[in-house]
């Protein structure tokens, strides 16, 4: 309150207040959620590429990558469900 009376501005929250108020303190879980979101984006992209590809070579490559990202997403989901 003293800082506000002197400067007219509210001081920024301390680091301790930010971690206790704003979300998870575990940076590993944040990275898991971030990776989950990235994998969902990749899966959507490669599903579209599989549907729209004209050459068999491209379809095969895109299906392989789609399967790879789907398996990784399943693993990430298991880790998230185990840690929450």
| Domain count along the chain | 1
Assess if residue 15 is contained within a domain.
Answer: no
Shortest CA distance to 77 belongs to which of 26, 23, 40? Answer: 40
Assess if residue 55 is contained within a domain.
Answer: yes
Give the mean pLDDT of 1-27.
Answer: 63
pLDDT digits 0-9 by tens, 26-72: 778 899 999 999 999 999 999 999 999 999 999 999 999 999 999 99
Task: State if pTM tops 0.85.
Answer: no
Assess if residue 73 is contained within a domain.
Answer: yes
Assess if residue 21 is contained within a domain.
Answer: no
Assess if residue 45 is contained within a domain.
Answer: yes
Instruction: Quote the DSSP letter at residue 84.
Output: -
Q: What is the pLDDT of residue 21?
A: 47
DSSP string for residues in 2-55: HHHHHHSSPPPPPHHHHHHHSS-S-HHHHHHHHHHHHHHHHHHHHHHHHHH--S
Query: Can you give the residue range of the structural domain that contains 60?
Result: 26-83
- Judged against a pLDDT cut of 50, whether residue 20 lies above it is answered with no
């Amino acid at each position: 309150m003293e800082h506000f009376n002197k400067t007219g501005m509210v001081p920024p929250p301390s680091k301790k207040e930010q971690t206790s108020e704003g979300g998870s303190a575990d940076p590993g879980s944040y990275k898991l959620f971030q990776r989950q979101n990235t994998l969902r984006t990749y899966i959507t992209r490669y599903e579209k590429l599989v549907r729209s590809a004209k050459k068999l070579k491209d379809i095969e490559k895109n299906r392989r990558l789609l399967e790879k990202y789907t398996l990784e997403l399943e693993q990430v989901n298991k880790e998230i469900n185990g840690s929450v």
